Amino acid sequence: MTDAPATLREARPDSSGERLDRWMTQVFEDLSRSRCKALVEAGALTVDGAVLTDPSAKVREGSLYVLNVPEPEPATPRAEDIPLTILFEDPDLIVVNKAAGMTVHPAAGNWTGTLVNALLHHCAGSLSGIGGVQRPGIVHRLDKDTSGVMVVAKSDRAHQALGAAFAKHDVERAYIACVRGAPKPRADRLETRLGRSSYDRKKFAVIDDPASTAGKIAITNYETKKTFGQEPGKSVGTPLASLVECRLETGRTHQIRIHMAHLGCPLLGDPLYGRGRSTPLAKLDSGKDFKDFRRQALHAAILGFDHPVTGERLRFETEPPKDMQRLIGFLERL
């Protein structure tokens, strides 16, 4: 989407020293202060030719401020001819193996190239409308950089029935994850409340207060399948990394990533909950199987459910994509 024509303003003497986002609401009258702040943080404002991203900066007298306001995004996603790996399809639903790096539905920063865009092209308009124009057919989601099996409703009756099955936890969902260290105990049922982090609004966190009713209940059943390597300087039997299977009873945002990090075993490659890369692992990587892995090591391997119309039991299982297979191969050589 192209930007609208740039809007220029020169700061007058009586504006000198005023907070930038407050001044912008006066000179760009059609924009709210929150919108001005968001545009500045997104790099849409230049001052004397240099990008300024601090909305709290002070206005400089005589400086030329140029604001590029993007055109509004279309309200309805466009169909795009994007290849899909289809595991099953009939008139009521479609099951796909989502690639890592593909966002499920359009949102800020990802208006095109999403799974919804691809499905609109492939299904030629035969997607359930219950999810709304931005999320047609979407019953559940995977994070952008999580690969694996997803089911999408093509009919409204399928959407309603699948939604009910997910809500009642009647869907089998198993993920495989590569994590730092090894969780203790090696297998357990983890039940916590998850809420928005008070330190970083992009993150969620476990609510430690047992009396709190904030957030939402999240339940993960995990089992350590393999351990790899020896943590330097730690007691014998302390692994560098592990392969863990996680089975979900609930499907909260970032649930597995948060729960594993809460156990002190964040997913390898997780940019949000991983607190940086594992130096011991990086030092042992003579090639680039670990160093080039650029996402959280999480794959939705199994999805099982009753067909919402026929009642037939369906179960799909997929191998991790090649980048994660290379990572697992590196760990097995430790």
CA 301 to chain centre: 17
> Which candidate, 153, 160, 163, places its Cα nearest to that of 93?
153
* Contact in structure between 205 and 268 (CB atoms under 8 Å): no
Choosing from 21, 143, 145, 270, which is the catalytic residue?
Answer: 143
Residue 269 CB contacts under 8 Å (≥ 6 apart), including other chains: 277, 293, 294, 295, 296, 297, 327
Q: Is 86 exposed, middle or buried (0-12, 13-18, 19+ CB in 10 A)?
A: exposed
Q: Give SS3 for 208.
A: coil
Helices 33-41 & 20-27, crossing angle to 10 degrees? Answer: 120
> Which candidate, 212, 174, 189, places its Cα nearest to that of 263?
189
Q: Answer yes or no: 143 catalytic.
A: yes
* Contact in structure between 171 and 239 (CB atoms under 8 Å): no
* Contact in structure between 225 and 247 (CB atoms under 8 Å): no
The residues annotated with a catalytic role in the active site are 143
